Chains A and B, each alone.
Chain A
Amino acid sequence: MIILGIESSCDETGIALYDQEHGLLAHALHSQIDMHAEYGGVVPELASRDHVRRTLPLIQRVLDEAKLTLADIGGIAYTQGPGLAGALLVGTSIAESLAFTLNVPTVGVHHLEGHLLAPLLEANPPAFPFVALLVSGGHTQLMRVGGIGDYTLLGDTLDDAAGEAFDKTAKLLGLSYPGGPAVSRLADRGTPGRFKLPRPMLNSGDLNFSFSGLKTAVLTLVNDHSNADGILDERTKADIALEFQEAVTEVLTAKCMAALRETGLDQLVVSGGVGANRQLREKLTRATKRRLCHVHYPRLEFCTDNGAMIAFAGAMRMQHESNGDHGFSVRPRWDLASLQRPPA
């Protein structure tokens, strides 16, 4: 069966077609980053308005790309939450009404389940069970994944998410939104060893994280090294960015390795936007190799929000759950741990 996937939880409209037999057929994405950049961050109302404009043209595009028609769609999966209520509602309304007309089943997908399972879209996918690090703009979680819907939380951030820390640090350094890639690019030009930032929770003995103190420490560095006009020279900015990235990726790597040790598992799956960070990938690849473990990443474009992960997660659940009368609702707050295994 071919599943149409629709993602609209935040600032990207992502659409994909996934064939339960033949895998991913086509996917397309519209990012609103440029639109929100002028506002310094995502404006929920504008995000919702843009999804209304983008969704149908993208659906048409993936159909054309896969040389399929609407009649080939066997089911529709859409992000039901968590995320921005208005943005979620656009994808949900279109998905359910399209399914109503096509007379096909639907399934509301948990956005984070989509991220979690995204590495399974790649060749040589990891087998269950594995440890997953979900590290994005809104989340920093370590999980034991026993199967679809079998998620045990091992560790979580006590305050900011890692991606959020990247974004806030970018702002402090005067970089543009979104901050992660900008900080990372600047760090490439930094000199190691000039600054030393804390490694929060590195030795906490558990698998939790905390990144808000790091942002405060960056603020202190910025204030201490700015001139009388509050201007920071480019070299200092790069050095701070480098040390910040070192601190975050070192803590993330150490906790991933601790999670593998504690669970006795040998496969690590990394997903979410910060999973695109090259420094993090290098550190994790080195550390896992040393311990004869394997690390799996989604391709870079599937680290951030996309329709392919929603189509895929939907495909895993479609035969079991379907919304019969097409009454619909969104779940802006939705606990991943509340998900159930699909009935066998």
Chain B
Amino acid sequence: MRLLALDTSTEYLSLALHLDGRVLTRELHAGQTHSQRILPLLRELLDEAGLAMTDLDGIAFGAGPGSFTGLRIGCGVAQGLAFGAGLPVVGVCTLLALAEASGADQVIACLDARMGEVYHAVYRRQGDAWQEVIAPGLYKPEAVPALEGAGWVGIGSGWASYADILQAAYPAQVSSTQPDRYPRAQEIVALALPVFAAGEGRPAAEAAPLYIRNKVALKTSERAKMAGLK
């Protein structure tokens, strides 16, 4: 199978082409320039492989959680590319992509969610697959859900921003951390491969970001209720 994967959920821009086992990648620290750089970089990658978009079999993208703007660039680009080439898409959770990158078997993935919160999920490897021990959620770092046992590996920017608080939340349970890792296209494509192989890619129009943080504004009725409480 020939697959493209992309991730723009953090300040990094990550692309991967999976060509029947061979993987070509591009990684760069994009800051706020993902939109300017993603398609020119993709052109470079396709040229290196000598392929056109229509030679591919599917597109995977980092669905989130992550920066809302980044998620929409990634999802919008995945939609446009896939719609144009008539390809199926698969959205992959960025927390799971971190787990896949960890090299460990039991992982606490945490991304800095700004506003004093983290995106958090816990995974355990079982054979070739990942079991979701705690589903992706949004928490104050001091209020992350408790876990059993020891030997957990912490990964992601949450472990950089809130190292002490998270260590305290899992006392003596965390054997090591990888705070500098970010969700990469090469893990996203690896996770998406079996989904495409099972014929479970979706039409481009169904590609959707995974925001997790869904309460972004108060309805007029809710504002009135809150004013009444004061």
Closest to A70 in B: B84
Interface residue? B167 (CB, 8 A): no
Does the CB pair A97–B75 fall under 8 Å? no
Q: In B66-81, which residues have CB < 8 Å from any A CB?
A: 68-69, 72-73, 75-81
Minimum C-beta distance from A323 to chain B (A): 9
Among B39-47, B100-108, B173-181, the one that faces the other chain is B39-47
Selecting from B112-120, B143-151, B152-160, B201-209, the interface stretch reads B201-209
State how many angstroms separate the Cβ of B80 from the closest Cβ of chain A: 3
Flag whether A157 is at the interface (Cβ < 8 A). no
Interface residues of A in 79-96 (CB under 8 A from B): 85-86, 89-90, 92-96
- Whether, in the assembled complex, B216 has its beta carbon less than 8 Å from a beta carbon of chain A, the answer is yes
CB-defined contacts of A93 to chain B, threshold 8 Å: 35, 72-73, 75-77, 79-80
Q: Which residues of B are in contact with A by a Cβ distance under 8 Å?
A: 35-37, 39-40, 42-43, 53-54, 68-69, 72-73, 75-81, 83-85, 204-205, 208-209, 211, 216-221, 223
B60 to chain A, nearest CB (A): 15
Known: A53-B208, A89-B35. A59 touches B53 (CB 8 A): no
Given contacts A38-B219, A89-B76, contact A98 B35 (CB under 8 A): no
Q: Measured between alpha carbons, how far is A40 from B223 in the docked complex, in Å?
A: 10
Number of A-B contacts (CB under 8 A): 113
5 cross-chain pairs, A with B, having the tightest CB-CB distances, nearest first = A93-B76, A101-B84, A97-B80, A326-B39, A56-B205
Is residue A223 contacting chain B, with contact meaning CB distance below 8 A?
no
Is B40 within 8 A of A57, CB to CB?
Answer: no
Given contacts A89-B76, A100-B80, contact A40 B69 (CB under 8 A): no
Assess the B39–A96 pair: CB atoms within 8 A: yes
B35 contacts A101, C-beta separation under 8 Å = no
In the complex the two chains form, is A45's CB within 8 Å of B72's CB?
no
Shortest CB-to-CB span from B85 to chain A, Å, is 5
Rounded to whole angstroms, the CA-CA distance of A336 and B95 in the bound complex is: 43
Q: Which residues of B contact A56 (CB under 8 A)?
A: 79, 83, 204-205
Q: A97-B79, A326-B39 are in contact. Are A102 and B84 (CB under 8 A)?
A: yes
**Are A57 and B205 neighbours in the complex by a CB distance under 8 Å?**
yes
Q: Which of B79, B80, B217 has the most CB of A within 10 A?
A: B80
Complex alpha-carbon distance, A48 and B218, angstroms: 16
Query: Would you call B216 and A43 a contact (CB within 8 A)?
Result: yes
Using known A-B contacts A52-B76, A93-B72, determine if residue A45 contacts B216 with beta carbons closer than 8 Å.
yes
A95 to B218, CA, bound (A): 31
Closest B residue by C-beta to A98: B80
Q: What is the CA–CA distance of A276 and B87 in the complex, to the nearest angstrom?
A: 42
A5 to chain B: closest CB distance in Å?
15
> A329 to B217, Cβ gap below 8 A?
no
Is the beta-carbon distance between B40 and A327 smaller than 8 angstroms?
yes
Asked if B221 and A38 make an inter-chain contact with CB atoms under 8 angstroms apart, the answer reads yes
- By beta carbon, the residue of chain A nearest B44 is A325
Give the nearest-CB partner of B8 in chain A.
A93
**CB–CB B220/A39 < 8 A:** yes
Scan A88-131; emit 1 where CB is below 8 A from any B CB, else 0.
Answer: 01101111111111100000000000000000000000000000
Contact of A48 among B39, B68, B217 (CB under 8 A): B68
How far, in angstroms, from A328 to B41 measured CA to CA in the complex? Answer: 12
Contact partner, A327, options B37, B53, B76, B80, Cβ 8 Å:
B37
Instruction: Report the minimal beta-carbon distance from A221 to chain B, rounded to whole angstroms.
Output: 23
Asked whether A95 and B43 contact (CB < 8 A) given A38-B221, A43-B216, A86-B69, the answer is: no
| A100 CA to B81 CA, complexed, in Å | 7
Cα A97 to Cα B77 in complex, Å, equals 5
A184 within 8 A of B: no
Q: A70-B84, A101-B81 are in contact. Are A90 and B40 (CB under 8 A)?
A: no
Q: Which residues of A contact B40 (CB under 8 A)?
A: 325-327
Q: Tell me the smallest distance from the CB of A120 to a CB of chain B, in Å.
A: 28
